Amino acid sequence: MLISPLSSALRSSVALRPISVAIKKASSFASSSIKMEAEKQYKFGPYKIDEKEVFYSTHLSYALVNLRPLLPGHVLVCPRREVKRFTDLTPEETSDLWISAQKIGKQLEIYHKASSLTLAIQDGPQAGQTVPHVHIHIVPRKGGDFENNDEIYDALDEKEKELKKTLDLDKERKDRSMEEMAQEADEYRKLFS
C-alpha cells in the first residue's frame, strides 16, 4: 500500500502528541517547582531571611519575627518585592500588605494577651527607616508597657540615641539567636494554619 506523505505526516504527528504532552507537563512541573522554591526565598533589604523566621506569607507579602523586638510580639510585615518606599508599592501589594497586617495584628494581640496594637511604617530614612525595604511594624500593646505611651515611636526610631539611653533600650535590645527567633515563628505559624 502506498502511503501518502500527508497521511505519514498525520500519523507521526499523532504518535508525537503523547510525547509533546509529556514534555509540556514536565516543563510546567519544573516551572511550578522553581516558582515554589522562589516563593520560599525571602529578602529584607540587604538581609537574606531564613524561612525559619517567617511565620506568614502570601504571594505578595510575608511576615517575620524581629531580630531586636521592642516588646513581645513586635513583628514586621513586608512586601515580597524589595522596594524602599511605600509609594513604590502597586495597589495590589498595598492592599495585600495591610490585609496581612490586619490578620497578623489580630492574632498576635490575642496571643500576647494585649489590648491594643501599634502599626507603624517609617517611610524613608528621615522618618527613621533603617532597613530600605518597606515594612509595617506590628507591636502588641498593654497598659504601662512604656511609661509614656508615645515613647514607642522614639524607640522605633533607632536614631534617637539619647532617648535610647534614657529608656535603656540598648541593654534590652540585643540581636537574638536564630534558635530563639525560629521558636517564636513556629508558635506564630500555628495561629495561621
Active site residues: 135
Closest CA to 76 of 122, 125, 10: 122
> Among the candidate windows 7-15, 19-27, 30-38, 125-133, which touches ligand AMP by CB under 6 A?
125-133
Among 51, 151, 158, 160, binds ligand AMP (CB under 6 A): 158
Among 54, 60, 63, 64, binds ligand AMP (CB under 6 A): 64
Cα–Cα distance measured from residue 104 to residue 54, given in angstroms and rounded to the nearest whole number: 12
**Contact (CB, 8 A) for 142 and 114:** yes
Q: Which residue has the cell 507591636?
A: 139
Minimum CB separation of residue 104 from ligand AMP in Å reads: 15
Among 116, 130, 166, 183, binds ligand AMP (CB under 6 A): 130
Residues 24-53 that bind ligand AMP (CB under 6 A): 44, 47
Record the cell numbers describing residue 55, joined without a space: 511565620
Amino acid identity for residue 122 in this structure:
Q
Our CB check for ligand AMP shows the closer of 67 and 99 to be 67
Sequence-ordered strand ranges (E) for the chain:
42-44, 47-49, 54-57, 61-65, 75-79, 116-120, 136-141
Binding footprint of ligand AMP on the chain (CB under 6 A): 44, 47, 64, 66-68, 76, 122, 128-131, 156, 158
